[in-house]
Structure 1
Amino acid sequence: MPPKFGTSGLRGLVTELTVACVTRYVHAFALSCPIGKGLYIGHDLRASSPDLADVVGHAAANAGLTVTCCEAVPTPALAHAAMADGAAAIMVTGSHIPADRNGLKFYTPAGEITKAEEALIQNALGQKSTADAVGSVTNATDVQARYAARYQAAFDKALGGLHLGLYEQSAVGRDSLADLLRSLGAKVTSLGRSDVFVPIDTEAVPADLRDQLRDWAQGHGLDAIVSTDADGDRPLLTDEGGTVVPGDILGQITAETLGADTVVTPISSNSGVAQSGRFAHVLRTAIGSPHVIAGMQASTGAVVGYEANGGFLLGFTAQGPTGDLPPLMTRDAVLPILAVLAQSAKTGVKASVAQQPARFTAADRLQDVDVDAAVAFIDQLRQSATEREAFLASLDSTCAEVDETDGLRMTLQNGLVVHLRLSGNAPELRLYVEAPSKDDAYEVLTTLLPILAGTILSQVTRFSL
């Protein structure tokens, strides 16, 4: 099965990301999209990433581009530097997916590629480079420092007095994030550093990690624990008890703290953002940052965007506690972490979360699913009310409304929301649940996930007969 290209760029098994495959996509990007003053290249800490970054660099230079190699840096740091310098960028990362997979994220000088630019790249695949000469290759060592300076100016000493745990695992920005938090006044305790790649999905934090975070928080007397996914564009933040704060709640608090009047967020995000009455406009989109960006570009004023994974996009010049915060049109993990911690410094993260509308989300996924079986099952639910009621029978309520903006989102008579969606870049079926209480959300999630797994398995068996 060849690598997939779409919402999160190019993704696939490392064995599928051959020199020929990567070169085709780099050349197509160079031929079809604005490149500006050259191409910046960064990578995460997967074992396969440095070699893939070398392939990208050679392909870009052979396409005549001026190449700047930035080595191991977070995605938003790479994008921040490239956009500031009027250059394009490619980040080598598979984000939260396992180490046997990897990928490329593409950025023009304006930010993450749009859906229209995705189509341009697809149409340019296979075209030959028209470069007359090989481009130059240089190295940059200040990318992370420039990114940190952005937040030091806006949040100087705003974290004074806080004792934070930093769950380091294998995140590419782990050392720089520790330095930044300390520069803003926090005491930082390192937790869980790993030399082996650890895939962290901030939308689906497993139970054993949740238990570990609670043990760390209570054992060290922490005010919060912070972390990110592998490439630093999705945040993970706990309250003082070690309970994970969902990414969309981080988004809601951050949007309000920054004074946004328009919020753009996918259909999978917590609906409390609209119920709060704190924003003039709330626009719901299909899932994926390109859809969020498109919605932000169609909006005016103080607009922000975020996803259920917590990745936050800033579309206007906001004010931090100590200075300006310029726009950054790419998913970012650091901004929601700092904004929520600064806002909660006196009362605690738990109190800030409690001020949000009483809507709670939980999410998990089935991995390595049979995609055909999953598609067939979702189609059955989409087409048949009887099939929907059978699937939801354990919830003691019936489906009142169906939304097909992205996947299948079912709103029940009792206010529960059950949302199924196939991943666009991995063989995964995601299950999102929204409920009036945290306990209800997780109870529904743990009830439906094994039912879903068994149903998909029966579909596979049916197909094989």
Structure 2
Amino acid sequence: MKYFGTDGIRGKAFDFITVEMAYSVGRSLGLLEKNKVIVCRDTRASGLNIVKAIKRGVIDSGLDVLDIDILATPILAYMSLIHECYGVMITASHNPYTDNGIKIFNKGYKTTPEEEKVIEDVIDGVTELKKTNRGIELAYFNPLYTYGALYKNIQFKCNKKIVLDLANGAVIKSAKFILNQTCSNLEYVGDEPNGYNINENVGSTHIDKLRNYVLNNGYDIGISFDGDGDRVLVVDEEGTIIDGDLLIYIFACYLKEIGKLNNNLVVLTKMSNLGIIKALKEKGIETVQTDIGDKYVIKAMNELDATIGGENSGHIINKHLFVSGDGVLNAAFLLMILVEKNTTIKELIKDVSFYPDRLYNIKNIDKSLVNDKRIVQLVEKIKADLGEEGKVLVRPSGTEPMVRISASAKTKKQVDNIIKTIEDKFKEIIKEKE
């Protein structure tokens, strides 16, 4: 079983992430790092015991450990970078409180497959660890002031009426600390975590809640984060949802204007809307599309020396600011652009026309059917017929017995027909196998 990946260890609280497993994770880091480990968590009740177990493992491995308590994942990534050490984040990101997981960073970046293999071998008992001198727990200090250095080039004063949706999650401290310094008219929702309400009807996975709040209360902007703070989505005063694609478009156009967009290139995923790709091209900005997942985006960005990339979920890597996705940092960058240009979000995205698109899930299905030659051939034919005026993607879910079909085309009727055609082919194949 693979415990690590793009999203780290993930499962149903202690049914999957046992205290023993967490202890082994901590112990395994002694094979990778000869200095110290920084540990952090989001607001889930289950996180506290996982942190305790990891800290015991780290200390028993001979390393020192620093516990920075409840803070956003990007802050941990930044701390691991400036302290040149490993960082362990206990979070299940945008998932409900019943889930929890582990993300590990090495000097600001997520661990490599080689590093993950070392950790997995300890968890699985393949590698036996020798006894060593015990480390110590280092004295706590508030890392928010250190983290604030990332904002030294984002200086502005904003008097717009803004509401922040903190998802009852890990940005509960950092979003307030940072944005209160620059924004004079802030209000909050989802800022009362109790250990069991993270992402519950709040946060970026429930953006319609924020949209209604903005419209009903006359806000200029609504900004929503996910449970661990590496995603951000926005709602403008008219209730338009500004997803990750649109934010990347805004950022890329601005960076090009100031001469900071390397190679005039943006990295998107195959889920990105064709309208964004066309709008960027009209601005003289080329795009590359990767498979879904931030690890693929980051890999392409590194290979192509791109400044910015990300997913429509709101996970944006803006290397002009930092090497890792950071929701609060990107939110501040957006506000700075609005203030500097004295404009509105609507004006910044006026040249973007979204293509109709749709995501459809076929549940309780053998996921391996996506590799059936009849499905592959059908998808390739649809792609050829669409050319540059549409796209289709069929992929298995990473965690459920489900196949996801996404399609985009000039009209909604085309999109619906594409999805129905593919779904019918799956049904035909399943019927043959019965």
Corresponding residue number in structure 1 for 2:386: 412
Corresponding residue number in structure 2 for 1:72: 70
Contact 1:199/1:230 (<8 A) preserved: yes
- 1-structure distance, mates of 2:231, 2:416: 22
The Cα shift of 1:97 comes to 1.9
The Cα shift of 1:46 comes to 1.3
Corresponding residue number in structure 2 for 1:61: 59
| Matched residue count | 419
Q: How does 1:34-433 map to 2 (within 5 A)?
A: 35=33, 37-122=35-120, 125=123, 126=125, 127-151=127-151, 153-158=152-157, 160-194=158-192, 195=194, 196-199=196-199, 205=205, 209-210=207-208, 212-258=209-255, 259-261=260-262, 262-272=265-275, 274-275=277-278, 276-277=280-281, 278=283, 282-300=287-305, 303-315=307-319, 318=320, 325=321, 328-345=322-339, 346-356=342-352, 358-360=353-355, 366=361, 369-370=363-364, 373-377=366-370, 379=372, 382-385=375-378, 399-401=382-384, 412=386, 415-425=389-399, 429-433=403-407
Which amino acid in the other structure matches residue 270 of structure 2?
Answer: I
- 2-structure distance, mates of 1:246, 1:124: 40
**For structure 2, which runs of at least 5 residues remain unmatched after alignment?**
none
SS of the residue corresponding to residue 350 of structure 1 reads helix
Contact 1:203/1:363 (<8 A) preserved: no
The Cα shift of 1:217 comes to 1.3
- 1-structure distance, mates of 2:40, 2:417: 38
Q: Deviations over 1:398-427 (max 9, x none)?
A: 7134xxxxxxxxx73683333233343566
- 2-structure distance, mates of 1:377, 1:202: 34
Q: Return the TM-score normalized by structure 1.
A: 0.77
SS of the residue corresponding to residue 68 of structure 1 reads strand
The Cα shift of 1:243 comes to 2.3
Q: Deviations over 1:420-452 (max 9, x none)?
A: 333435666545444458xx49x9589959x96
SS of the residue corresponding to residue 4 of structure 2 reads strand
- 2-structure distance, mates of 1:417, 1:248: 16
SS of the residue corresponding to residue 241 of structure 2 reads coil
The Cα shift of 1:119 comes to 4.3
SS of the residue corresponding to residue 346 of structure 2 reads helix
- 2-structure distance, mates of 1:197, 1:457: 39
Root-mean-square deviation (CA, aligned residues, Å) is 3.6
SS of the residue corresponding to residue 154 of structure 1 reads coil
Q: Return the TM-score normalized by structure 2.
A: 0.82
Q: Deviations over 1:383-406 (max 9, x none)?
A: 342xx59xxxxxxxx7134xxxxx
- 2-structure distance, mates of 1:176, 1:446: 46
Between Structure 1 and Structure 2, which shows a larger proportion of strand residues?
1
- 2-structure distance, mates of 1:423, 1:106: 23
Bigger CA drift: 74-83 or 135-144? Answer: 135-144
- 2-structure distance, mates of 1:381, 1:172: 45
- 2-structure distance, mates of 1:381, 1:98: 37
The Cα shift of 1:204 comes to 8.2
Corresponding residue number in structure 2 for 1:322: none
Contact 2:60/2:135 (<8 A) preserved: yes
Contact 1:226/1:236 (<8 A) preserved: yes
- 2-structure distance, mates of 1:363, 1:124: 42
The Cα shift of 1:42 comes to 0.5
Percent of residue pairs bearing the same amino acid type: 23
- 2-structure distance, mates of 1:186, 1:462: 64
Which amino acid in the other structure matches residue 8 of structure 2?
Answer: G
